[in-house]
Amino acid sequence: MSALDLGIDLGTANIIITTGRGGAVLNEPTVIAFDRNSEKVIAFGEEAYKMIGRAPEHIAVIKPLKDGVISNNDMAQELIRLCILKVIGRRLINPRIVMCVPSGVTAVERKAVVESAVSAGARTVYLIEEPVAALLGAGEDIMRPFGRMVVDIGGGTSDVAVTSLGGIVAANSVKKAGNAFNASIQRYFDEKYKILIGERMAEDAKINCGNIFWPSGEKTGVVSGRSLITGMPARVEISEADVAEAITEDVEAIAGAVRAVFEKTPPELVGDIYEHGVVLTGGGALLRGLDLYITREFGVKCRVADDPLGCVARGTHMAFRVRDKLRNGFEKVNVSRI
Ligand SMILES: Nc1ncnc2c1ncn2[C@@H]1O[C@H](COP(=O)(O)OP(=O)(O)O)[C@@H](O)[C@H]1O
Ligand SMILES: [Mg+2]
């Protein structure tokens, strides 16, 4: 990939742009803030993320891909355009772009995403499916006639796929991932401790006290919010056991998706996966104990990829080099200039 080629991982939680030379050149939360009065975008990425739950009425802070589908097309398009422009700056270049979009995004929405890349100056756009990018980025050799399984746990969706000979053999996706974990944690504290906590507080609890395999009962964290009883500020001490209890059902749903993929994978490939193990990618792979949980559930080895948050982004531009060998999951999109 030359310096004029960009890889874009349009995730539900984070958007990452890579270049051949520089690795990741942009890494921002998939969030955009819109001023309803002036009808203008006022911030995107990290700056907009900081406004979540803290913005006045007239400012809409939007996660345009929240649940793994595009919930706000205009804002999704604008966000992609702004991110590409931030990377290419004022340079007069028309990059080739490989983009990875969540599996739940429809054909029409894909087209809209591609169009926004074109409006930011893209010359050619390719789309790649997330599992292919994730495995490449995790350093797996997917070209051999050998089964590989990836479980990519992002913000909106968890995607499970098996590949062999550079193509996807079986896949499944569930809308249970990082965002669902946060919502479950919020609900848990609401029900059990009668305290209303914000989304970002839930995220902190998940990151600091998440442990799905061997949760300790020791109170090592705190959350604060509003008491549902007094209506006043309140805080409670929490343990890993609290977080584990809150998210167990979601983790079970992800295991269910893995099971469904095993069931439709040809036996030879299941044998390969048994031998080689499962790879975890995406931010959710950082949840402590998840690898051990999967090993216990399925009796297969499981490893967390290096830098799991960056796998798909790395894989997008690696895919560029091996595009002739990829059998499916990589598509050149015809772009019409507008
Ligand atoms: N240490 C961690 N433990 C658990 N979850 C984490 C951790 N770090 C990040 N995450 C979660 O990972 C998700 C983002 O992962 P990412 O792969 O970037 O998603 P997407 O591809 O959908 O943008 C978020 O929901 C975030 O809360
Ligand atoms: Mg992702």
All structural domains of the chain: 5-29+70-132+313-333 (3.30.420.40), 141-176+248-309 (3.30.420.40), 182-246 (3.90.640.10)
Q: How far is CA 64 from the centre of its chain?
A: 13
Nearest protein Cα to ligand 1, atom 8 = 283
Q: What is the pLDDT of residues 191-215, one digit of tens each?
A: 999 999 999 899 999 999 999 999 9
Residue 1's pLDDT band (cuts 50, 70, 90): very low
**What distance in Å separates the CA atoms of residue 140 and residue 136, rounded to the nearest whole number?**
5
Task: Enter the pTM of the model.
Answer: 0.93
Question: Per-residue pLDDT for 218 more than 90?
Answer: yes
Q: How far is the CA of 249 from the centre of ligand 2 (A)?
A: 21
Nearest protein Cα to ligand 1, atom 10 = 283
Question: Per-residue pLDDT for 92 more than 80?
Answer: no
Share the mean pLDDT of the chain.
92
Nearest protein Cα to ligand 1, atom 19 = 154
End-to-end C-alpha distance for the chain, whole angstroms: 26
**Ligand 2 (single-atom ion) residues, CB below 5 Å:** 11, 154, 312
- Residues in contact with ligand 1 by the CB-under-6-Å rule are 11-14, 154-156, 178-179, 203, 206-207, 210, 282-284, 286-287, 309
Ligand sitting nearest the alpha carbon of 155: 1
Q: What is the pLDDT of residues 154-186, one digit of tens each?
A: 999 999 999 999 889 999 999 999 999 999 999
CA angle (241 as vertex; 282, 49 as ends), nearest 5: 40
Question: Per-residue pLDDT for 331 more than 70?
Answer: yes
Alpha helices in the chain (DSSP H): 46-49, 73-88, 107-119, 130-137, 178-192, 199-209, 240-263, 267-276, 290-298, 311-321
What mean pLDDT comes out for the span 41-47?
Answer: 97
Q: Which atom of ligand 1 sits closest to the CA of residue 153?
A: 17
| Best residue for ligand 1 mutational test, from 12, 175, 316 (most atoms within 8 Å of Cβ) | 12
| Best residue for ligand 1 mutational test, from 213, 240, 286, 306 (most atoms within 8 Å of Cβ) | 286
Ligand sitting nearest the alpha carbon of 281: 1
